[in-house]
Amino acid sequence: MIGVTTLDEFIIDRQDDFPFATGDLSRLLRDIGFASKIVNREVNMAGLVDLAGAIGSENIQGEEQQKLDVLADEVFIKALKNGGEVCGIASEENDDFIAFENEKSKQGKYVLAMDPLDGSSNIDVNVSIGTIFSIFKRKSEVGTLATMDDFLQPGTEQVAAGYVLYGSSSMLVYTTGNGVNGFTLDPSIGEFCLSHPNMKTSESGKIYSMNEGNYHLSPQGIQTYLDSCKKEEKTARYIGSLVADFHRNLIKGGVYLYPSTTKAPNGKLRLLYECSPLAFIAEQAGGSASDGFQRTMEIKPTELHQRCAYYVGSKNMVADIEVLLK
């Protein structure tokens, strides 16, 4: 299509942002785009081909796995294994990380952490859901099996991060540290096309997103913040799908809150493949992300599925929350 930039074209054009790029990261990002198109197709057909619903098992989080959770996990793992750019994958759906054993993958320079389908409790009610991914350069020697240390890296070490939103239209949004760009899937040509170049979020906003059912379980500072949002007549918007809430706030301005609560003392969201990658996006778009005390990107994980409190979005709103929590 004349005048349209596809994701593949954009990635190749921007490869020069990395003077020493050999094209591996470009190929990896294109593999992610390819896998996203397959998952998008399955998400759109879920209700028709009995892909909705639970499979009767639980993931390490003790959360009931949905059929699409497992399918999305398998699609991304297969696409990335075939691509050969990553030597290993950590996923919300798998207790331990996967170290690929084939020779081609062992030569991979990167590892990927992902939530293959976040917000899965919304699958059966046709609410937007998403994929979140984070890419690190491996620390272990090329040619060997991936190690846990390859994954336990702080967000500042990410070389790329992004999300796919399977919604009224499907979008892929990513950063490699040179700004944030959004691509909308054009089903008529099966390509993600540049629709949101150089995304920026406002320093403040009117929207706050939190499950206020947790109000009385939350720290006093968060209760005070929520009370102030009501006094200032801010707008409450909470979909219960992190990617959808994050994406709306990125575009319109706002803050998403998931505090540590008496029920979830370490918060609910996972640092490695939810909070860190979206923090990278937020910061690259002029926003910020923290656990209330520390910049999310600087938290070094000690375990794969580590949880953290999470405040992300317009930087002045995140700052207001931090003041109240100190």
Cβ-based nearer residue to ligand P6P, 214 or 314: 214
Closest contact distance (angstroms) between CB of 128 and ligand P6P is 10
Closest contact distance (angstroms) between CB of 312 and ligand P6P is 11
Q: What's CA 19's distance to the chain center, in Å?
A: 26
Cβ-based nearer residue to ligand P6P, 7 or 308: 308
- Beta-bridge partners for 111: 88, 136
Phi, psi (5° rounding) for residue 163?
-145, 160
Position 85: which residue type?
E
Residue 174: which residues within 8 A CB-CB, separation 6 or more? 29, 160, 161, 162, 163, 180, 181, 281
Closest contact distance (angstroms) between CB of 141 and ligand P6P is 35
Rounded distance between C-alpha atoms, residue 92 and residue 245, angstroms = 19
Closest contact distance (angstroms) between CB of 232 and ligand P6P is 23
Q: Among 76, 184, 193, 63, which residue's Cα sits nearest to residue 134?
A: 76
Closest contact distance (angstroms) between CB of 246 and ligand P6P is 8
Residues making contact with ligand P6P (CB under 6 A): 118-119, 121, 211, 240-242, 245, 268-269
Residue 140: which residues within 8 A CB-CB, separation 6 or more? 87, 146, 147, 149, 150
Structure tokens at 172: 């892929």
Cβ-based nearer residue to ligand P6P, 187 or 240: 240
Cβ-based nearer residue to ligand P6P, 115 or 191: 115
Position 245: which residue type?
D
Structure tokens at 207: 């929207």
Q: What's CA 243's distance to the chain center, in Å?
A: 7
Rounded distance between C-alpha atoms, residue 225 and residue 317, angstroms = 10
Closest contact distance (angstroms) between CB of 325 and ligand P6P is 19
Closest contact distance (angstroms) between CB of 6 and ligand P6P is 28
Cβ-based nearer residue to ligand P6P, 53 or 179: 53
Q: Which of the 8 DSSP states describes residue 275? A: I
Residues 122, 241 contacting (CB under 8 angstroms): yes
Largest CA distance in the chain: 60
Cβ-based nearer residue to ligand P6P, 80 or 123: 123
Judged by phi (left if over 0) then psi (alpha if -120 to 50, else beta), residue 269 lies in: beta
Cβ-based nearer residue to ligand P6P, 245 or 291: 245
Closest contact distance (angstroms) between CB of 295 and ligand P6P is 20
Cβ-based nearer residue to ligand P6P, 118 or 150: 118
